C-alpha cells in the first residue's frame, strides 16, 4: 500500500513539473548575466477563462526620487508630459499586456492579443497605451499609428514599493483591478470581461 501511495505521489509531482519544464521567456532577449532590473510575469484569470498576463522588468528605487530623477545623460528616468515619448512602464524591453479573449480596460474594448503597454505620465492624469507592437526595446520605436487603445486613469499615493511591481487587486467574478506600483505611486486600472446575457 505504501509503495502504491508513493508511486502515485511521484506521478502527480511529475505531472505538475512537466509544464514548468516547458516554460519559456516572454522576452526575445536572453541576458548573459542577471539583469539589474529582473524580469517578472504576473497573471490573473477573469471571468470563466480569460487569462490576463503582464510581463515586465523591475527597476529599483535605489534611493532616488524616481519620478523626477535624471540619468547620466540628464534625461528623466521616467519621461513626463505630452511632449515626451511614452514610458515603457518598466525597464529594458517594453512591458507587455496579453489577454486570451476580449476584455474592457476602464470600460473600453480591447481585443484578444498581446500588446506593448506604455504610459504617458502626468501629475493628475496618466494615459495607458496598448500598442500592437509588443517587441520593442523600451519605447524608442513607439509608433502611435499602432496604438489600439488609449485610456486615461488617475494615479494614487500608495505604500512604498522598492522594485517596480504590477499586480491585481480586488479580483471579482468578471473584474479585477490591475495596478502598477513604484516608489509611493500606485496606478490602478480596471480589467473586465463582458458578460453575455443568457
Query: pLDDT, tens digit, for every residue of 122-170?
Result: 999 999 999 998 887 766 678 899 999 999 999 999 999 999 999 999 9
Cell 519544464 appears where? Answer: 21
Q: Is residue 149 part of a domain?
A: yes
Stronger pLDDT, 70 or 10, i.e. the higher one: 70
SS3 of residue 101 by DSSP: coil
Q: Is residue 20 part of a domain?
A: no
Question: Nearest Cα to 90, choosing from 63, 72, 66?
Answer: 66
Q: Is residue 25 part of a domain?
A: no
Q: Is residue 8 part of a domain?
A: no
State which of 20-29, 67-76, 145-154 shows the largest mean pLDDT.
145-154
99 Cβ contact partners less than 8 Å away, ≥ 6 residues apart: 50, 51, 52, 53, 110, 112, 113, 191
Query: pLDDT, tens digit, for every residue of 31-71?
Result: 666 767 788 999 999 998 899 999 999 999 999 999 988 88
Give residue 163's pLDDT: 96
Percent of the chain having pLDDT more than 90? Answer: 61
Per-chain mean pLDDT for the chain: 85
- How many domains is the chain built from? 1
Owning domain of residue 138: 37-192
Least confident stretch, 7-16, 61-70, 129-138, 176-185: 7-16
Q: Is residue 3 part of a domain?
A: no
Q: Is residue 97 part of a domain?
A: yes
Q: Is residue 135 part of a domain?
A: yes
Q: Is residue 70 part of a domain?
A: yes
Amino acid at each position: 500500500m505504501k509503495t502504491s501511495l508513493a508511486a502515485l505521489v511521484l506521478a502527480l509531482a511529475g505531472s505538475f513539473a512537466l509544464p514548468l519544464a516547458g516554460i519559456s521567456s516572454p522576452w526575445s532577449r536572453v541576458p548573459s548575466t542577471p539583469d539589474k532590473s529582473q524580469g517578472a510575469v504576473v497573471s490573473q484569470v477573469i471571468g470563466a477563462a480569460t487569462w490576463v498576463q503582464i510581463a515586465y522588468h523591475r527597476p529599483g528605487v535605489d534611493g532616488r526620487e524616481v519620478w523626477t530623477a535624471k540619468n547620466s545623460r540628464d534625461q528623466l528616468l521616467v519621461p513626463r508630459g505630452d511632449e515626451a515619448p511614452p514610458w515603457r512602464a518598466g525597464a529594458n524591453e517594453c512591458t507587455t499586456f496579453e489577454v486570451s479573449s476580449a476584455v474592457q480596460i476602464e470600460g473600453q474594448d480591447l481585443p484578444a492579443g498581446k500588446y506593448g503597454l506604455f504610459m504617458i505620465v502626468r501629475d493628475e492624469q496618466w494615459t495607458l497605451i496598448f500598442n500592437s507592437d509588443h517587441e520593442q526595446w523600451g519605447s524608442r520605436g513607439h509608433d502611435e499609428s499602432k496604438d489600439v487603445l488609449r485610456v486615461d486613469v488617475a494615479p494614487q499615493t500608495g505604500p512604498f514599493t522598492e522594485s517596480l511591481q504590477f499586480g491585481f487587486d480586488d479580483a471579482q467574478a468578471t473584474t479585477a483591478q490591475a495596478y502598477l506600483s513604484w516608489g509611493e505611486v500606485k496606478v490602478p486600472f480596471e480589467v473586465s470581461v463582458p458578460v453575455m446575457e443568457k
